[in-house]
Amino acid sequence: MPKENSLELTKIPGISPKNVVFILTDDHRFDFMGFTGKVPWLETPNLDRLALEGAYFPNAYVTTSLCSPSRASILTGLYSHTHTVVDNAAPDPGNLTFFPQYLKEAGYQTGFFGKWHMGNHTDAPQPGFDHWESFHGQGVYYGPTLNINGSQTTYSEDTYISDILSEHAIEWMDNVDKEKPFFMYLSHKAVHSEFTPAMRHLGNYEEETVIYPPSYDGPAISENNTESKNSDENQRLGQDHYGDGRLPDWVKEQRESWHGVDYMYHGRINFEDFFHRYTETLKGVDESVGLVLDYLDQNDLSEDTLVIYMGDNGFSFGEHGLIDKRHFYEESAKVPLLVRWPSALRGGDPINSLIQNIDIAPTILEAAGLKAPENMQGMSFVPLLARGENPWRDRIFYEYYWEMDFPQTPTMFGVRTDRYKYIRYHGVWDTNEFYDLENDPNEMQNLIEAPEHQERINLFANDIYDWLEETGGMNIPLKKIVRPKFGDHRNQNIL
């Protein structure tokens, strides 16, 4: 295991360290869970249970909707432009401190299981963990090779990755010293493309009706989509129809690319199979959550164990004609966030505050009785768990930097409040976007030219630049990297 330097710790008086379980999934969008009702036939009994016994955060976002940048933000509590892991090829700059390092320094037993993919594709042990199990890059669904504390172990071709990671994580919890606090980080490969369910789940949803979003065919009302036929709503939203047809050109063009519904993954799969395989793959993740919760319950660990379930980014299923992530539309940037902590959180009701992935590190540190370092840009949401009146942010910010490997999506910055969203594109001649999410939750009416919103739009543009100036983000952090040739997507680790 790597050697680590001593860290300066500041303990919070009166708070005793609690066990923490953090479960991270890949490409799980915020509303693909049974209890949300988005997909009527989707069954996720264990995620439903987690929401019922704890809390669902329906307004949780990532600062960048992409694997490596999001994972770096979770681990450091920093925005992408601050930690500089701006895409899946950008290396760890070598000066980052991960929050598990503070936990380990404070006496926690720490274990990592699963996908790392942060700043490189290595499976080598990383700072902050006593026990380490990972795989190279994106890994594989069947027959994985795991680096277990520095030694490679290859499993049989019938070994499913979600199952083996869950089994090993529970074995580790079962063997820790129960007199000391522990932190377990279970980081699933699922549900990353190319979606591969466990054999026991393959075909479970084959006959179920696929859900097409209202914006599947663009901003115009589709004759084939009953969800977008509400003429009264569209007349109300239109505000003289400033938004009709005002999608950016890059969005219209991307629907015919690798990340669009008209040429998905270079035509290797159709939309219906794509939808069914994703939901079937998610069943293995749900079972994993159930195993972890059952272990905690059966061993009298639940009461004082903070359990957090989160996605590293969202995923589009045809909204605006797109698949994948990266953009700042809701289905891409919003993620599932479920929290259970019986001793500190009354279960059942959602918590609607605007949360970001940079908040995970300071939240877990507070649960451990540690004060977050001043350089962390996130906020602990522990005070929100009491469901009282707490001062909180009124807006979140977003950033994404153009990738040579996937040039369809431009650099963008954005801001979102509880009602409005503004997206500003950089380095491309195209229209920006502004949405009234209260009246237009599907983001189908771009009001960027609506006279009644011009003052608000100007204020949001200034907010973005103020945020970037205050956090050192006025320069795009370029990286000296040898990248694949344009159009060469044979290396699946760059997705």
CATH number of the domain bearing residue 64: 3.40.720.10
Give domain status of residue 342, yes or no. yes
pLDDT confidence of residue 25: 98
Give domain status of residue 223, yes or no. yes
For residue 401, give Cα distances in angstroms to 160, 322, 405, 422.
34, 18, 12, 17
- Please state, in angstroms and rounded to a whole number, the distance separating the CA atoms of residues 392 and 342: 23
The pLDDT tens digits along the chain (495 residues) read 555 667 888 999 888 899 999 999 999 999 999 999 999 999 999 999 999 999 999 999 999 999 999 999 999 999 999 999 999 989 999 999 999 999 999 999 999 999 999 988 899 999 999 999 999 999 999 999 999 999 999 999 999 999 999 999 999 999 999 999 999 999 999 999 999 999 999 999 999 999 999 999 865 433 333 343 333 444 344 444 455 568 999 999 999 998 999 999 888 899 999 999 999 999 999 999 999 999 999 999 999 999 999 999 999 999 999 999 999 999 999 999 999 999 999 888 899 999 999 999 999 999 999 999 999 999 999 999 988 778 899 999 999 999 988 899 999 999 999 999 999 999 999 999 999 999 999 999 999 999 999 999 999 999 999 999 999 999 988 877 765 554 444 444 444
- Please state, in angstroms and rounded to a whole number, the distance separating the CA atoms of residues 224 and 72: 41
Taking residue 8's Cβ as centre, other Cβ atoms within 10 Å add up to 7
Which amino acid makes up residue 10? T
Give domain status of residue 206, yes or no. yes
pLDDT confidence of residue 229: 34
Which tokens in the block code for residue 414? 């954005």
Domain assignment of residue 117, given as a range: 19-227+264-388
- Model-level pTM greater than 0.85? yes
Give domain status of residue 471, yes or no. no
Q: Count of domains in the chain? A: 1
pLDDT confidence of residue 483: 58
Long-range contacts, stretch 406-410, CB < 8 angstroms, 24+ apart: 406/258, 406/259, 406/326, 406/494, 407/486, 408/250, 408/253, 408/254, 408/257, 408/258, 408/259, 408/260, 409/250, 409/254, 409/259, 409/326, 409/327, 410/250
Closest by Cα among 401, 213, 440 to 316 = 213
For residue 40, give Cα distances in angstroms to 50, 208, 310, 335, 386.
19, 10, 21, 19, 31
Number of Cα atoms under 13 Å in the Cβ half of residue 377: 22
Give domain status of residue 400, yes or no. no
- Please state, in angstroms and rounded to a whole number, the distance separating the CA atoms of residues 490 and 478: 24
Q: What is the 3-state secondary structure (H, E, C) of the chain?
A: CCCCCCCCCCECCCCCCCEEEEEEECCCCCCCCHHHCCCCCCCCHHHHHHHHHCEECCCEECCCCCHHHHHHHHHHCCCHHHHCCCCCCCCCCCCCCCHHHHHHHCCCEEEEEECCCCCCCCCCCCCCCCEEEECCCCCCCECCEEEECCEEEECCCCCEHHHHHHHHHHHHHHHCCCCCCEEEEEECCCCCCCCCCCCCCCCCCCCCCCCCCCCCCCCCCCCCCHHHCCHHHHHHHHCCCCCCCCCCHHHHHHCCCCCECCCHHHHCCCHHHHHHHHHHHHHHHHHHHHHHHHHHHHCCCCCCEEEEEEECCCCEECHHHEEECCCCCHHHHECCEEEECCCCCCCCCCCCCCEEHHHHHHHHHHHCCECCCCCCCCCCCHHHHHCCCCCCCCCEEEEECCCCCCCCCCEEEEEECCCEEEEEEECCCCCCEEEECCCCCCCCCCCCCCHHHHHHHHHHHHHHHHHHHHCCCCCCCCCCCCCCCCCCCCCHHHC
Give domain status of residue 486, yes or no. no
Within the chain, what is the greatest distance between any pair of CA atoms?
66
Distance of CA 179 to the CA centre of its chain: 33
Give domain status of residue 463, yes or no. no
Give domain status of residue 489, yes or no. no
